[in-house]
Amino acid sequence: MGMPRIGYHRLAPLLAICVAAASLASACAAAPARARHLSFGCADGRRIALTFDDGPNPPHTEQILNMLTTAGVHATFFDEGQAVEAHPAIARDEIARGMAVGSHSYGHSPDLPAMSHAAFADDLRRAEDAFVAALGAKPAIYRSPYGHTSAVMLEEERKRGYVSIGWDIDSEDWSDASVDRVVSNVLDHAHPGAIVLMHDGGLGGGNPDRSTTIAALPRIIDGLRQQGYALATVPEIAGITTNGGQAEATCSAN
């Protein structure tokens, strides 16, 4: 006996489902890998990371480094490539004092999220060239200017071996907030694994005066310690390691 015939009107939906499933599987298999993005670190233990963007920016970066060193604090600096080119000795001093250093693009362009793969890859490489010339190696972590990112950016960051870093506490020291407001923004929202956004640099070409940050920093350090927090770098609180040029984070929370 031959196989029973199935009318096309009954077969067509089944074929459509199979084609759609195959297309979805193909798309998933072909999806490019993206850099891991972290807004906070591991929550196991009372540790917080202070981070500073947009430097090096003399004399404010040196003043912040002196305050951190005096307090015995290791923080993380997300430096712009063009600023590293202009002030390589300060970038080297950050490393010498036990700070972590990450890339913050070459020139803090607001156009990065709209760039093509080739254009953004070029910006990454320009920043890397500055870091390699000053420090002998490229960073393992990257923070996008303004916190704005895109699939293209994360894909290219992955190719270059980065972990993407955001923040979950904004000190608002970039604004016209008072010293008291900057301090309370951090202390009132502190939690284990927090990454705090602060600035030592010129805010992407804006006002380079970091007097408010410098006035607030000792109070923030003291206040966090009074709450029982230890201050550490982003790689420390996120468990970031590098293997074969590819950075990975061990935290599974985000």
Which of 21-25, 192-196, 223-227 comes out lowest in average pLDDT?
21-25
Structural domains of the chain in order of their starting residue, each with its CATH number: 37-249 (3.20.20.370)
Per-residue pLDDT tens digits for 20-71: 444 444 444 557 899 999 999 999 889 999 999 999 999 999 999 999 999 9
- Enumerate the β-bridge partners of residue 77: 52, 101
Return the DSSP state at 177. -
Give residues with Cβ within 8 angstroms of 163, minimum separation 6: 35, 36, 37, 38, 140, 141, 142, 238, 240, 247, 248, 249
Return the DSSP state at 208. -
Whether residue 248 contacts residue 240, with contact meaning beta carbons closer than 8 Å, is answered with yes
| Mean pLDDT, rounded, for 77-89 | 97
Distance CA 54, CA 227 (A): 28
Strand 240-243 to 246-249 pairing:
antiparallel
The dihedral formed by the CA atoms of 127, 65, 73 and 67, expressed in degrees to the nearest 10:
-160
User: Of these residues, 53, 79, 123, 200, which one is catalytic?
Assistant: 53
Whether residue 141 contacts residue 235, with contact meaning beta carbons closer than 8 Å, is answered with yes
Percent of the chain residues past pLDDT 90, beyond the cut: 78
Given this model, what pLDDT does residue 31 score?
75
pLDDT at 5 over 80: no
Q: What is the CA radius of gyration of the chain?
A: 23
What one-letter code names the amino acid at 122? D
**SS3 (DSSP) at 102:** strand
Q: How far apart are the first and last CA of the chain?
A: 59
pLDDT at 107 over 50: yes
Q: Per-residue confidence at 3, pLDDT binned at 50, 70, 90?
A: very low
pLDDT at 244 over 90: no
User: Of these residues, 60, 79, 199, 200, which one is catalytic?
Assistant: 199
> Is 54 labeled as catalytic in the residue annotation?
no
Given this model, what pLDDT does residue 18 score?
38
Task: Give the pTM.
Answer: 0.87
Q: Per-residue confidence at 251, pLDDT binned at 50, 70, 90?
A: confident
Q: Per-residue confidence at 253, pLDDT binned at 50, 70, 90?
A: low
Q: Per-residue confidence at 9, pLDDT binned at 50, 70, 90?
A: very low
How many CA within 13 A on the CB side of residue 208? 12
Per-residue pLDDT tens digits for 180-192: 999 999 999 999 9
Given this model, what pLDDT does residue 254 score?
58
Given this model, what pLDDT does residue 7 score?
42
Distance CA 215, CA 104 (A): 24
Q: Per-residue confidence at 134, pLDDT binned at 50, 70, 90?
A: very high
Of 47, 56, 106, which is closest to residue 77 (Cα–Cα)? 56
Distance CA 125, CA 211 (A): 32
| Mean pLDDT, rounded, for 97-118 | 97
> Is 123 labeled as catalytic in the residue annotation?
no
Whether residue 74 contacts residue 232, with contact meaning beta carbons closer than 8 Å, is answered with yes
Whether residue 154 contacts residue 116, with contact meaning beta carbons closer than 8 Å, is answered with no
Average per-residue pLDDT in the chain?
89
